[in-house]
Amino acid sequence: MKDILIWVIAGVLLVLSQAMILAEKMPVAVLLLSLDVMIVLFMFLKSNREIRDKFDFRSIAAIISVLLAITATMLVRTASVMSLYVYIAAALFLLFSRPAGHRIFEEAEIKTEPAKMEKWEPVFFMVLLTLTFLSRVIALGDIPAGVEGGEIVWMGDAMRLANDKARYFWHLGSGAEWPSMTTYQSIIFGKIFGWNLGNLRLEGAFWGIAMVITLYFLIRRMFSPLTAAFAAVIFSFSESQIMISRYINPIHIMYTCIIVATWLFIEALRNKKWYMFALSGLFTGLSIHGYLPGRILPAILAMLCIYVWLFDRKHGLKFKHLMIMFAGVLVSAGPIAFFAWKEPELYWGYLRSVNPNAHTGASAYIQTFFNNIKDYAGAFHIRGGANPSLAVACKPLLDPVAQVLFPLGLFLSVLMIFKPYGIFFVVFFIFTLLPAMLGQGNSGHPAMTRIMGVFPAVYLMIAFAYERLKNVFVVPGKKFVSAVFIAVSLMAAVFASYNGFADYFEMQSKRDYKIGTAHSDYIVGKEVDKTKNANVIISAHLRYWGFVNSDRVFRRVLWPDEMLILDPDRENLLIIDPIYKGTSKFFSDNFPNASIKQLDFKPDTPEYACGGTLIYDIHAPDTSNFTVRIPAEDVKRFQQFVDSSTGEKVDVASEEFIAKYAGKSVTLLGAVIITEREKNAVIKSGKKGWQVSLSSAGFKESAEIPYPGVHYFKIKGNVDKSMNQDELVSVMADGVMASNRIFGIKEKYGLRMDFYKSEDPDKLGRPVFSKNILLPAYRVYDGYAAPMGVPFFVVYSAFLNVQDKASISISTLKPSESKITVNGRVIYSSLNSAEKMDNILSFNNKDGIYGFKCYNLAAGGPTGRTAIFMKKESGKLNFEYMNYDQFLINK
């Protein structure tokens, strides 16, 4: 009766497969026909013992399985749905290739005893450890030659935390979405070996090596030494694993810890030692000391524990064992949980910001999950991460060998989901995909940094499929077959490792990749290291300091104007990041002997993009890095006053100046620089009878400087036989003498900036903060330079210095969100497309000075982050950058 029922099922499947062919649903037809063929073969072999004994149908089924998986891998790009069904058919063949003497689901069951050590294992392990170590640490400061992934943020976190002892020791505090354990480890490596990017990356290298070793031992405990060796090799030298092990990140720790926790749990089932359960819980809790996906990892092991407790009772797992594990979790995760309880808005704030369904119901999460399945299903075989600053962007996350074996293991796990390892692998895979699939990052889908937790699950399933194949082919009494299988495995492992190793280091040498990794910043860092005695001044962008060796002393400034606080006794090297290209004119005009080097690092192909994501800075695509080397003699001249009567620089201590003006009253022009962090600034005269006038105010002995930036002044008095510029005028800030703040310039160049905590340019209210800038069009968003968070409005005010121009059009560089008015007329607006604009500004008065205002929205998003002023003169086709000398703070 049973045989008749099976034949009926086979007949139904055959009819259904034909129906699917007629309906042109070929993938479904292939799957149904594969099932039908397997049932027919099973029934045929069941009734023909002679044939069954003559042929090794287990090996044949396993070979068919591998061939089908290879075929499916080749079909993925052209027929993705068909390939899915072929993969399922391959897994079914693998399932029915039950090894001799094994139960059909045996590989998915927890082994009571670990495998005995093989003779070759110690040597293999040392070779694996050595090669893994070398691949992670060699030239770590130079490869990648830039920043990768989120290193810009993580380097900044390490710097702030190293210098701020008041922060929570388990969390960075405001603006950081991950706990601080990995950050502290970067700090430790930096303190021991030197504070530069290469040494901070040792944190990632350490956990990357630990991850390979722990995965080896987990697979060995689950399956066998040969399977562990194969899987560990292709895992260690895959491009994605090399990549994430060579930059600072809080990713490895989470799944290294869950791997260790799983090994400890399996071992605890064998020996029932309470401390093994406690250690398993401790490592489970440590997994949330990582990036966002770490918060879901404890649930993965919890699912395995609950399954074994409820459905696999032979292992003797008791409720008290689970409570011991839970206590361990509380101990290691306690600091994080306490912080989340004390400051939930801070801890969960970032998670909400990247959660598109934060204010919707459960159905929205389900819909988002299904919407993103295609992107993430293709990530392993078609296109990897969308972030162009990651080495594997736009490439499949898996090498060809892993592409074949991973789907086999995945669908084999699904077919054995009612067994411990089956459910563990499936849950591990799905749960570690969820943070990426349900999130909304800046780089689009698939989000590789959030998908990283899936790799242990992927390679566990690869090991799962390989173990099944090994049990079929490597059997006592079949030495030739076993040798062939091991030889093929060795070739596959070498092939996969070579591909991963070569792909990673080849990608690092390509210019069109380096543009996405701040490679020009790396070049700047190397140039700083070559400069031994110069006064180095670096823009306060988070990238630069990591490329400079820790023994170098340099000053970081918030605004480019603050770079003009120069040392007159030695060479000054300025690292400027990023100001628009016209900035170089200021340095060439005022420092005639300076060496100005612009670092435009463009891709080989201008339109190079990663799945639609441009690899240059979309917020300011035309900005460039500059290095400016200023000799000491140019600095001395720059810091001299300007004679108001001649407009020329003068050395007030020189014999020529004293002889010319001795006994006479003279008025000198100058400018003073106050940094953003300085308060209570005062400029005052230090010589009897001399007075100072700040910003066209009356002359007096001293004047308060109301806000930061560049302020212009006059100083007048009688010249005597003893003159010294430092004696004439001095600057105080916070009660302390501020040196090298004075320079001379004949015009009052610059713009005033007023910051308003408002999103409506017509309802600005009172400014929260003001400053003057000499070099226009600087990026002031994200609270980086401005003392407030986005969104806010910046209003630039100046007078146009555009003499002899018949007519001119003015705009801001896109994608800035701004409005420009001149004498109250709107001449440009990207804030309101309906606003009436006078696009052409005509000049008809003699001096050509017009009132200028720009209302710029700093919103922190893809647009509205930059104000870079452009002009187009009458009769010309293209816009060009407006330079510093085209804006005046005062008439």
Are 472 and 484 within 8 A, CB to CB?
A: no
Does 476 share its domain with 615? no
SS3 content of the chain, % helix, strand, coil (to 5): 50, 15, 35
H or E stretch including 498? helix 479-507
- Show which of 449, 482, 509 is a domain's final residue: 509
How far does CA 177 lie from the centroid of its chain?
13
CATH number at residue 795: 3.90.182.10
The per-residue pLDDT for range 526-563, each reduced to its tens digit, is 777 777 788 888 776 545 555 666 566 778 777 778 88
The per-residue pLDDT for range 51-74, each reduced to its tens digit, is 555 556 678 888 889 999 998 898
Residue (of 39, 38, 42, 19) closest to 29 by Cα position? 19
Task: Give the CA distances from residue 13 to residues 2, 8, 432, in Å, rounded to whole numbers and listed in that order.
Answer: 17, 9, 36
Are 889 and 853 within 8 A, CB to CB?
A: no
- Show which of 485, 509, 533 is a domain's final residue: 509
Amino acid identity of residue 566, one-letter, is L
3-class DSSP assignment, residue 782:
coil
Does 485 share its domain with 524? no
Show the CA angle centred on residue 177, arms to residues 171 and 181, nearest 5°: 40
Indicate whether 101 belongs to any domain: no
Indicate whether 291 belongs to any domain: yes
Does 445 share its domain with 524? no
What is the rounded CA–CA span in Å between residue 86 and residue 84? 5
CATH number at residue 735: 2.60.120
**What confidence score (pLDDT) does residue 231 get?**
96
Does 519 share its domain with 504? no
Does 86 share its domain with 123? no
Does 150 share its domain with 87? no
What is the rounded CA–CA span in Å between residue 431 and residue 84? 21
Burial class for 785, CB neighbours closer than 10 Å (0-12, 13-18, 19+): buried
Does 502 share its domain with 531? no
Percent residues over pLDDT 70 in the chain: 77
What is the rounded CA–CA span in Å between residue 368 and residue 352? 15
Indicate whether 522 belongs to any domain: yes
CB neighbours of residue 823 within 10 Å? 11
Instruction: Count the domains in the chain.
Output: 5
What is the rounded CA–CA span in Å between residue 284 and residue 262? 8
What is the rounded CA–CA span in Å between residue 538 and residue 575? 5
Indicate whether 448 belongs to any domain: yes
Confidence band (pLDDT; 50, 70, 90) for 293? low
- Show which of 634, 650, 683 is a domain's final residue: 634
Indicate whether 100 belongs to any domain: no
Residue 291 phi, psi dihedral angles, 5° rounding: -75, 180
Are 300 and 424 within 8 A, CB to CB?
A: yes
Bigger pLDDT: 734 or 816?
734
H or E stretch including 773? strand 769-773
Indicate whether 604 belongs to any domain: yes
Does 470 share its domain with 570? no
What is the rounded CA–CA span in Å between residue 762 and residue 571? 47
Indicate whether 103 belongs to any domain: no
As given in the structure block, the two tokens for residue 245 are 């092990």
Does 391 share its domain with 534? no
Q: Is the pLDDT at 175 greater than 70, yes or no?
A: no
Does 703 share its domain with 658? yes
Residue (of 833, 838, 828) closest to 870 by Cα position? 828
User: Structural domain of residue 775, as residue ranges?
Assistant: 751-888
The per-residue pLDDT for range 408-435, each reduced to its tens digit, is 999 999 999 999 999 999 999 998 888 7
Indicate whether 102 belongs to any domain: no
Amino acid identity of residue 302, one-letter, is A
Average pLDDT, the chain: 81
Does 618 share its domain with 646? no
How far does CA 529 lie from the centroid of its chain?
25
3-class DSSP assignment, residue 794:
strand
Are 755 and 770 within 8 A, CB to CB?
A: yes
As given in the structure block, the two tokens for residue 857 are 């929205």
- The answer to whether the bond into 815 is cis (omega within 30° of 0) is yes
Residue (of 619, 436, 612, 625) closest to 520 by Cα position? 625
Confidence band (pLDDT; 50, 70, 90) for 612? very low
Q: Which residues contact 157 (CB under 8 A, 6 or more apart)?
A: 172, 176, 180, 183
As given in the structure block, the two tokens for residue 89 are 């058919």
Does 630 share its domain with 674? no
